[in-house]
Amino acid sequence: MSRVLITGVSGFAGRNLARLLVERGDTVAGTVHTRSSGVDDIEERTIDIGDVSALSELMSEFRPDAVCHLAAIVDTVTTPSVMRLHEVNTMGTVAVTEAMREAAPDARLLFTSSSFAYGGAGTDELPVTESQPLRPVTPYGAGKAASEAIVWQFARQTGAEVIVTRAFQHTGPGHTGEYAMADWARQLAEIERGGGSGTIHCGNLEVERDYLDVRDVAAAYAAAATRGTPGRTYNVCSAVPRTMRSLLEGLIAAFGVDATIEVDQARLRRVDQPAFYGDRSALQADTGWEPSIPIERTLADLADSTRRLA
């Protein structure tokens, strides 16, 4: 790759991917919705992801070798507007493929799906491999599963080189929003500012999840787009199940505060799978990618970035 177009370049993973590609010498352009990525040396265009004409114009001008489609509403559980989620996530994927058909027929497409497309998994299905059936239980997961079908149909109709990744949960510096790790970091930053002791409110801490550093996720996307095999789907995961309690305790240690943990009943989910983690062997075998950032560094960098934002 030398010319890469990233949709959703101002998102959490998008800006990390852009930064990585620029550092290795690629020319990068990206679409944004309302805010800049903050990454130097890239071209940004404010575009509604559903606007095929605007996307086609950008692709005609930029002439990408690869399109990394990351633009999406990342709303994994609550989803206040299912209609809006599918307008952006599902129909946005249709728009990207239509624009590529018109203006970038020779570009490779990396579609970043999600482990939420899998839905649940029984204990006999762990670790989750790419052959696991898709049984999404959230609108977000359903939108990702539908978008996978869309990009594979695009590949069959046009012969385009398409690769799909399914990222498991990730965090790291700059993580904000209504996600467990970002929420805990925000609460702990408030405790730190308030004198260093207090109570942190959380949900179920006994479940096991598969967490990566967002910078490792960006490296995985770059590896898949560059060295992945067209027609394949790759899990992007650590393959290490960690209890949410261990992650919270690690984050408390990173902040160095005296925090009392209190489970908030309002934060508990009606259905919460005891364990969910993936198998990363396919991506590792095809590209050589593997996680490189220890979880302790991830939590420390999350703490530092949250302090700066507070």
* Contact status, residue 44 vs residue 28, Cβ threshold 8 Å: no
DSSP state, residue 134:
P
pLDDT, residue 197, reads 95
Residues in contact with 121: Cβ distance below 8 Å, sequence separation at least 6, in sequence order = 128, 132, 273, 276
Report d(CA 288, CA 135) in Å as an integer: 29
* Core vs surface per residue 25-57: b (16+ CB within 10 A) or e: ebbbbbbbeeeebebeebebbebebbebebbbb
* Class of residue 124 by CB neighbours under 10 A (exposed 0-12, middle 13-18, buried 19+): exposed
Angle at 264 between CA 258 and CA 266, to 5 degrees: 150
The pLDDT of residue 264 is 86
pLDDT of residue 261: 96
- 184 phi and psi angles, rounded to 5 deg: -65, -40
Buried b (16+ CB within 10 A) or exposed e, 62-76: bebbbbbbbbbbbbb
Q: What pLDDT was estimated at residue 44? A: 98
What pLDDT, on the 0 to 100 scale, is given for residue 270?
67
CATH architecture of 3-170+212-236: 3-Layer(aba) Sandwich (3.40)
DSSP string, 99-119: HHHHH-TTSEEEEEEEGGGTB
Question: Quick one: which H or E segment has residue 208?
Answer: strand 208-213
- What CATH architecture does domain 174-209+240-275+294-309 belong to? Alpha-Beta Complex (3.90)
Which residues of the chain have a pLDDT value below 70? 1, 270-271
β-sheet bridge partners, residue 170? 212
What residue segments make up the domains of the chain, in order of their start?
A: 3-170+212-236, 174-209+240-275+294-309
pLDDT of residue 221: 98
Could you give the CA distance from residue 5 to residue 43 in angstroms, rounded to a whole number? 9
